[in-house]
Amino acid sequence: MRRNRRVKILATLGPSSTEQDIIENLYRSGADVFRINMSHTDHDRLKLLVERIRSVEGKVGRPIGILADLQGPKLRVGTFSGGPVILENGATFTLDADTSGGDVNRVHLPHPEILQALEPGHRLLLDDGKVQLNVIEASDTKAVTEVVVGGKLSDRKGVSVPDSEIATSAMTEKDHKDLIAALEQGVDWVALSFVQRPDDLAEVRKITRGRAGVLAKIEKPQAIGRLDEIIELSDAIMVARGDLGVEMPLEHVPGLQKRITRACRRAGKPVVIATQMLESMISAPVPTRAEVSDVATAVFEGADAVMLSAESAAGDFPIEAVSTMDKIAHQVEQDSNYRTIIDAQRAEPEATGADAISAAARQIAETLNLAAVVCYTTSGATGLRASRERPSSPVIVLSPVLATARRLSLGWGLHCVVSEDASNEEDMIDRACRISFSEGFAKPGQRVIVTAGVPFGTPGSTNMLRIAFVGNDGQGGI
């Protein structure tokens, strides 16, 4: 089973998509990777969902990626003794360490780390930015603010602090437990929420120790200032436009999306565009024209994956949402402008042998109009290098490691096949041609280009290129 598009689709599982037959239908409709949101999933449900995804994987015979998305720190105000209050523009409102019930003048802020980080002039955004405050006075026990944008405020509404770097880990105690549980279930990716600084990734890396890829979610302004460092320490990036659009002016988000996408493409790290891509399909069987354009923009820009959140997790039309996204992506990739835009953003290869081989493979494949680029990889690094090149020829990744094939299912244009490592050069050519033929990428008489490393089975040793003919029986010859 092969996809007729390069961009991958990441679908979130939830109440609308827990049953195994729906998960299978989501995969067959176009989902390549499944996201499990740990904000709404206990460990028993996590185990159940992973088992069902793996069962579908066995049925369809293709590696499927699983992403466990950690909740991250949730910052919220306390409670109000008399129910919701209305904050008027220009009024003074205090957030403090007093645990008693709040009123129209003050409320408890159960996060001393926020009070310690605030300074006069900093903004506080409450309830997804609906209420905006400006700090006038700040101390370790209270922050006196002026109401800039007033409105209704009730118990436990969220707090965002776009101007302050909070001295707290991006991982909570719950996240730590969820991460251990996710690794025990063998998930392929873990997503870290509310990353502010490169150091936030160190703790997760210490626990994962390579057992899962680490994906950093960019949803804080502080992360933008250290983007290159965060990309370097991550295995992949997610542009989490929901929270990013709360903490930054909305008009900045499209430009940031392009900037992050291009930075990830240069670095050869997968990038996922997420949040509200087909939001109206939560309750409608067709999307708005603007949503179609939004998905198309991400595909034109060369993002590795586009993501569905509530659309597939809690919406009325989860399968239709995936199918719609698949059709949009497929159509964009057939557009006459698509290849021009993709090629214009291609980065120069790094000064390494493996990068030079990948760049050469792409150029040769396009010059000779070859049927496919076939990469042997153990760790997955060679597959991601091939993906970074964004070749016009299909890319088949052969790996003896199932976990590697699953993880690479997030990478742009990668068709992953689990196969034994080649024992010698003849076996390498033969296996590459046979799989290219059986997977429907190459016909007898066509040629493929093969990249591999000698000695065989040594991770990170890509140093060889071969052009091979596919014979009438699918066998290969140089």
- Note the pLDDT of residue 415: 98
More confident residue, 214 or 462: 214
Q: Which two tokens stand for residue 5?
A: 């598009």
The pair of structure tokens assigned to 68 is 């466990």
What is the percentage of the chain residues whose pLDDT exceeds 90?
87
Is the C-alpha dihedral spanning 94, 96, 98, 102 positive or negative? positive
- In the residue annotation, 35 being an active-site residue is answered as yes
Q: Are 429 and 456 in contact (CB under 8 A)?
A: no
Only one residue has tokens 């991550």, namely 234
Q: 182-191, 246-255, 268-277 — which is least confidently predicted?
A: 246-255
Break the chain down into helix, strand, coil percent, rounded to 5: 40, 25, 35
* % pLDDT > 70, the chain: 98
pLDDT tens, residue by residue, 110-164 = 999 999 999 999 999 999 899 999 999 999 999 999 999 999 999 999 999 999 8
Q: Where in the chain is the domain with CATH 3.40.1380.20?
A: 353-477
Tens digit of each residue's pLDDT (9 = 90 or more) over 413-452:
999 999 988 888 899 999 999 999 999 999 999 999 999 8
Confidence at residue 309, expressed as pLDDT on a 0 to 100 scale: 97
**Main-chain phi, psi angles of 21, to 5 degrees:** -65, -35
Q: Catalytic: which of 35, 220, 241, 434?
A: 35
Alpha helices in 133-240 (DSSP H): 173-184, 199-208, 221-225, 227-233
Query: How far is 74 from 418, CA to CA, in rounded Å?
Result: 39
pLDDT at residue 478 is higher than 70: no
Residue type, 236: A
Cα gap 255→265, rounded to integer Å: 15
Q: Which of 98, 144, 152 is nearest to 121 (CA)?
A: 144
- Measured distance CA(264)–CA(27) in Å, rounded: 26
Q: Give the residue range(s) of CATH 2.40.33.10 domains in the chain.
A: 85-160
**Fold classification of 85-160 (topology level):** M1 Pyruvate Kinase; Domain 3 (2.40.33)
Cβ-count burial of 206 within 10 angstroms (0-12 exposed, 13-18 middle, 19+ buried)?
A: exposed
Q: CA separation (Å) from 367 to 120, 158, 392?
A: 60, 54, 10
Q: Provide the H-helix boundaries in 282-395.
A: 289-301, 310-313, 318-334, 338-344, 353-367, 381-388
Contacts of 225 (CB under 8 A, 6+ apart): none
Secondary structure (3-state) at 407: helix
Q: Which fold has domain 353-477?
A: Pyruvate Kinase; Chain: A, domain 1 (3.40.1380)
As its CATH architecture, domain 8-72+170-341 has: Alpha-Beta Barrel (3.20)
The whole-number pLDDT of residue 292 equals: 98
Given the residues 12, 145, 208, 275, the one annotated as active site: 275
Q: Hunting for tokens 């922050």 — which residue is that?
A: 143
Instruction: List the catalytic residue out of 5, 62, 217, 447.
Output: 217
Residue 220 designated active-site: no
Candidates 74, 76, 197, 262; catalytic one: 76
Q: Which residues pair with 66 in a beta bridge?
A: 34
Per-residue pLDDT tens digits for 180-192: 999 999 999 999 9
Residues 399, 378: contact at Cβ < 8 Å?
yes
- Report the greatest alpha carbon distance in the chain: 81
Determine the average pLDDT of the residues in 262-290.
97
Is the separation of the CB atoms in 270 and 384 below 8 Å? yes
d(CA 468, CA 72): 49
Which strand (E) or helix (H) includes residue 264?
Answer: helix 253-267
Rounded Cα distance between 34 and 117, Å, is 37
172 catalytic, yes or no?
no
Q: Which amino acid is at 473?
A: D
Residues of the chain with CATH 3.20.20.60: 8-72+170-341
CA distance to 12, 283, 312, per residue, from 25 (Å)? 13, 19, 12
User: Is 76 among the catalytic positions?
Assistant: yes
> Which backbone phi and psi does 368 adopt, to 5 degrees?
-95, 0
The yes-or-no verdict on residue 90 having pLDDT over 60 is yes
pLDDT in tens, 369-391: 999 999 999 999 999 999 999 99
Q: Per-residue pLDDT tens for 34-65?
A: 999 999 999 999 999 999 999 999 999 999 99
Lowest mean pLDDT across 267-281, 329-343, 344-358, 397-411 = 344-358
User: Who wins on pLDDT, 215 or 474?
Assistant: 215
Q: Check residues 455 and 353 and name the one with the higher pLDDT.
A: 353
For residues 462-472, give the mean pLDDT: 89
